[in-house]
Structure formats: structure tokens, C-alpha cells
Amino acid sequence: MSSDQLLLKQTWAVTRRLMLEQWRQKKGLVFWAVFPATMMLLFGMVYAHNASMRAGLDAAAAGILVGAALFFSCLGGTVAVIAAERERGTLLRLLVTPLRPSAYFLGVVISQLLLALVQVVVLYAIAWLVGAKYNGSVWLGSLILLLSVFSYVGMGFFLGARFAKRSEEVVVALSAIGVPLLVLGGTFFPMEIMPQAMQNVAQLNPMLHMNQAFKGVAAYGKSFADLRFEIIFLVLFCGLSLALGVQSYRHLLGMDKPQ
């Protein structure tokens, strides 16, 4: 078996294992669907009630998907995978197999992508049932979602490898870092109602650009040219996030070796 074939085989093995574990945690799967759907419906109703905001559910579906659903599933999910691997001692066991770090990394990315795909389908199915519409380019929307998922997984590796040694710490890390980012990312409130100082700070928040880019395509039908600033920002952030994730994962492999 060639080196590339082994890499693919190992990547797929990691993906399958993670998906199987996710499947076995049925309650968790239900919550992954219920949480964003509830949020979307609640925020959609609030937006729709406000006459100055058009297409309330269209915007809510997009915002909740990128800002909350993918954040908690992809970023939170990755942190949880790393923390569990460390807690159970399986990371050490993996280190003595020929598993390549890149295969593990890719395996996690793919499993999170598949989960994200399911969330997109579920959320938009519900949104469609209550009358929301997807108004823009599917390809552009997919590109933005892909960049968002990669960014979240990279950040997940970074947070998981650096800060979360135990499963309990995952919730704390997500709450401490994630919720302020969600608020400043315009997931829950429109940016316009925030003070100018907060709006200025929020410009540094990648989640704001994810939100604006995906809302721009999905709710308002904007084109690539309209969203080039957000997309460039996302590409750069995605690169930085993945680099940080890979570096943190390597650090983790060294750190978790016996001493």
C-alpha cells in the first residue's frame, strides 16, 4: 500500500469512527438539530416583527446557521473530540500506531464537514417549511460555509489542544470565548443596534464576516463582488486558523507523550 493510499485509508478510518461515535450519541444529535432550529424560529419571529427588517426568517436562518449551529457543532465538536481523546488516553494509543497527524486532522475536518452538511439541510428544510427563502448563489454560499467550517475546525484544534484537557473544560472554554464572539458577530442582534465602539471592535471578529457574508448571499442575494471584502477576510482567517490548528495539534502530540 502506497503512502498516499495509507493516508486516505487512515483519514477515512478516523472520519468513520467519529461519525459512528456521533451517531451513537443520539441525544446529542437531536440537540444539534433542535438548538439551531429553535434559535432560528425565535430570532426569525423577532426579526419579522420588526417592520424595518425585511426577510426576517431568511436572515435568521443564515445567521443562526453560521453563527450558532456551525460554531457549536464544528468548533465545539472539534474541541470535544480532542478533549475526549486526551481524557480517555486514546491519543497516546494513536501515537503508537502509524497514524499520520495529517490523516487525523483531515479525518476530523471531514467528519465536521459532514455534520455541517446535515445541519445545513435540516435547518434550511425547517426554514423552507416556515416560509424562508435562500436567495443567492448556492456555490458562493457553499464556499462561505466551507471556509467557515474550516475556520471553526482550525480554531477547535487550537482551543482543544491548548486549553481543554477534560470534557468539562470544553463547555467553559466555549462559553468564555464563544458567546462573546457570537454576540459581537451579529448572530443574536443586528449590528446596527450596537454602540459604535462595539461595532468597531466587532470588525475584528471573524464571525461577523462569516455572518455578513452568508447572510449577504442567502438572504439578500449578493454576489461575489459585493462580498469580496468579507470573503478575503474569511480566506485569510481560515488560513490562519488552520495553521494555528495544525501547530497546536503538533504541540499536543508532543505534550501528551509520557513524561
**Which residues of the chain form contacts with other proteins (CB under 8 A)?**
1, 5-6, 9-10, 12-13, 16-17, 20-21, 24-25, 88-90, 92-100, 257-259
Helices (H), the chain: 3-24, 26-49, 56-64, 70, 77-88, 90-95, 101-129, 138-162, 167-173, 179-184, 196-202, 206-218, 228-255
CA distance 203 to 199: 7
**Smallest distance, Å, CB 249 to other proteins?**
16
Q: Are 82 and 154 in contact (CB under 8 A)?
A: no
CA distance 152 to 111: 13
Residue nearer to other proteins on the CB measure, 9 or 251:
9
Residue whose CB is less far from other proteins, 100 or 162: 100
Cell of residue 115, nine digits: 455534520
CB of 224 to other proteins, least distance (A): 40
CB of 7 to other proteins, least distance (A): 10
Residue 178, helix vs strand vs coil: helix
Cβ closer to other proteins: 26 or 49? Answer: 26
For residue 81, the minimal CB distance to other proteins (Å) is 11
Cell numbers for 146, please give them.
466551507
Q: State in angstroms the smallest separation of the CB of 56 from other proteins.
A: 39
CB of 94 to other proteins, least distance (A): 7
Are the beta carbons of 182 and 67 closer than 8 angstroms? yes
For cell 424595518, name the residue.
Answer: 52
Task: Report the residue number, 89 or 131, with the smaller CB distance to other proteins.
Answer: 89
User: Minimum Å distance from CB 24 to other proteins?
Assistant: 4
209-188-22 Cα angle (round to 5): 80
User: Least distance (Å) from other proteins to the CB of residue 68?
Assistant: 25
Pick between residue 52 and residue 97 the one whose CB is nearest to other proteins: 97
Are the beta carbons of 126 and 52 closer than 8 angstroms?
A: no
Identify the DSSP state of 219: T
Decide whether 90 or 142 has the Cβ nearer to other proteins: 90
Nearer to other proteins, 120 or 161 (CB): 161
Instruction: Pick the closest to residue 213 from 196, 238, 194 (CA basis).
Output: 238
DSSP classification of residue 136? S
Measured from the CB atom, the residue of 11 and 187 that comes closer to other proteins is 11
